Amino acid sequence: MARKPTYEELEQRVKELEKEAAQYKQAKDVLRLFSHTVDSSIDGIAMGNTEGRITYVNKTFAKMFGYSREELTGNEIASIYSEDRTPNLEETLKATAEGDWTGELVGKKKDGELFPIAVSSSRVVDDEGNVIAQTASYRDITECNQAEHDLRESEYKYKTLTENSLTGIYIRQGEKFVFVNDRFAQIHGYTTHELLGKDYLSLIHTDHRELVRQTGLKRLRGEVAPKRYEVKRLRKDGKSIWCETIAARIEYRGKSAVMGNIVDITEHKRSEEAVREKREELNIKTKSLEEVNTALRVLLKRRDEDKAELEEKVLSNVKELVIPFLEKMKNSQLDPKQVAYINILESNLSDIISPFLRNLSIKYINLTPTEIRVAHLVKEGKSTKEIGEVMTLSPRTIETHRKNMRKKLGIEKKKGNLRSHLLTFQ
């Protein structure tokens, strides 16, 4: 007859059952948490047994391959891969079963569509080290491949564009160049390889280095900074060059950066400097010429004043020292010939001091001296006969001179006498 357990034994048994129940509940909670976590994963997750059959898949995995969970459970793991697009599939699956494995394979959906997947698998072992299952995570890398392709294509197009650009293009992150095109390197006398990783300030002349550094810091901080400016830069051979720079803050490969375009304007600067020097030289010459002109004007004014003063003195001397004595001689007893000479002398003196004759000879330089003397006597109202007597010329000769004067004065075919025209030269 079996012995009845004691109270203490029953109590001990109850405690053991309560402990087992708690452990079961804890395991159930852990399993529920695991199931929720696995189902929430963006990666497809599957488990398989040692015979190569699927025992569990999460929602993402089922959706990725286009099956329901029930359809996948129990299927061979090899059924989700493309044998045609996966060389040595059997060996690959064997390798995944023997240890941890990571790589890319080609998956096959329920409708037969093939797509690239990244697979990372590992084994599950018991306390004795025996393999009891295998787990793997799957990621559809179709979009990743497309994005990578698009990125490569964009970089190719950008590189093609920049390498054919007539301007130098650079991108720097921090103080180092991360990209330069051939033109940028050529402007500075370097190769593109030599400039990658080089400090960007090393290409700036010491006169402008601090200004460029402060401007760059403002731009990276998002503060207002000039986008276009002229700066003196340095070539590899140490020679300085002037470049116009246009720079802006950008995002490059996920990080803040500065992109710039430069144009070599050294020759333009030299031309500007040459023009400036020529302008300064011209200003100096102009100023000097103005001073010379001022001096000439002063001299000409002085000459005119001296000339007027001399004329006034000559006129005054003739009137005071010559004319009175001629008048006395005319009133003395002279024979007709002497009187004629006195008249000629008086006429010639009048010609010398007459402003009329001076103005006439200046305007009509083609008049002969005799014609000028005849013109003076005509203006004084002398007749042809009187003029002939004064000048001891025949009346016909005087008429010839009068005719020539009308022609030279341009009044040959005009109405009005010669005297009226000559009176306008006072």
Among 119-123, 208-212, 363-367, the range scoring the smallest mean pLDDT is: 363-367
163 and 199 fall within a common domain:
yes
Please report whether residue 4 resides in a domain.
Answer: no
pTM exceeds 0.75, yes or no: no
83 and 56 fall within a common domain:
yes
Please report whether residue 399 resides in a domain.
Answer: yes
Asked whether residue 33 carries a pLDDT value surpassing 70, the answer given is no
249 and 280 fall within a common domain:
no
The dihedral built from the CA positions of residue 308, 309, 315 and 316, taken in this order, carries a sign that is: positive
The fraction of the chain above a pLDDT of 90, given in percent, is 11
- Structure token pair of residue 212: 């460029």
Mean pLDDT of the chain: 80
- The pLDDT assigned to 321 comes to 72
Please report whether residue 35 resides in a domain.
Answer: no
154 and 260 fall within a common domain:
yes
104 and 190 fall within a common domain:
no
From the list 363, 393, 18, the residue with the least C-alpha distance to 373 is 393
Please report whether residue 23 resides in a domain.
Answer: no
163 and 251 fall within a common domain:
yes
66-76 pLDDT per residue, tens: 999 899 888 88
The fraction of the chain above a pLDDT of 70, given in percent, is 82
122-165 pLDDT per residue, tens: 887 777 778 778 888 888 887 665 555 555 565 555 555 555 56
CB 161 within 8 A of CB 169: no
CB 116 within 8 A of CB 82: no
241-261 pLDDT per residue, tens: 999 888 888 888 788 888 888
292 and 366 fall within a common domain:
no
Residue 146 CB burial class (10 angstroms; 0-12, 13-18, ≥19): exposed
244 and 301 fall within a common domain:
no
Amino acid at 255: K
- The pLDDT assigned to 27 comes to 61
Average pLDDT score over residue span 281-305: 85
Give, in order, the Cα–Cα distances in Å from 30 to each of 18, 130, 131. 18, 23, 22
Of 120, 140, 160, the one marking the end of a domain is 140
* Number of domain units in the chain: 4
Of 286, 314, 342, the one marking the end of a domain is 314
- The pLDDT assigned to 155 comes to 57
Asked whether residue 271 carries a pLDDT value surpassing 80, the answer given is yes
Please report whether residue 400 resides in a domain.
Answer: yes
Which of the two residues, 221 and 191, has the higher pLDDT score?
191
Asked whether residue 304 carries a pLDDT value surpassing 80, the answer given is no
Report the side by side order of strands in the sheet with 255-264: 176-180, 168-173, 255-264, 240-252, 228-234
Which of the two residues, 395 and 363, has the higher pLDDT score?
395
132 and 153 fall within a common domain:
no
**CA 380, CA 340: separation in Å to the nearest integer?**
18
230 and 168 fall within a common domain:
yes
Please report whether residue 188 resides in a domain.
Answer: yes
Specify which of 39-48, 128-137, 186-195, 390-399 reaches the highest per-range mean pLDDT: 186-195
Please report whether residue 19 resides in a domain.
Answer: no
Asked whether residue 325 carries a pLDDT value surpassing 70, the answer given is yes
- Range(s) of the domain holding residue 305: 267-314
Residue 240 — very low, low, confident or very high, per pLDDT cuts 50/70/90? very high
Average pLDDT score over residue span 42-48: 85
Please report whether residue 34 resides in a domain.
Answer: no
CATH of the domain at 416: 1.10.10
Sequence-distant (6+) residues with CB within 8 A of 74 are 53, 54, 55
63 and 159 fall within a common domain:
no
257 and 158 fall within a common domain:
yes
- The pLDDT assigned to 189 comes to 93
CATH of the domain at 70: 3.30.450.20
CB 377 within 8 A of CB 393: no
- The pLDDT assigned to 317 comes to 74
From the list 73, 78, 67, the residue with the least C-alpha distance to 119 is 78
5-19 pLDDT per residue, tens: 777 777 787 777 777
In the structure, how many helices (H) and strands (E) does the chain have?
A: 16, 10
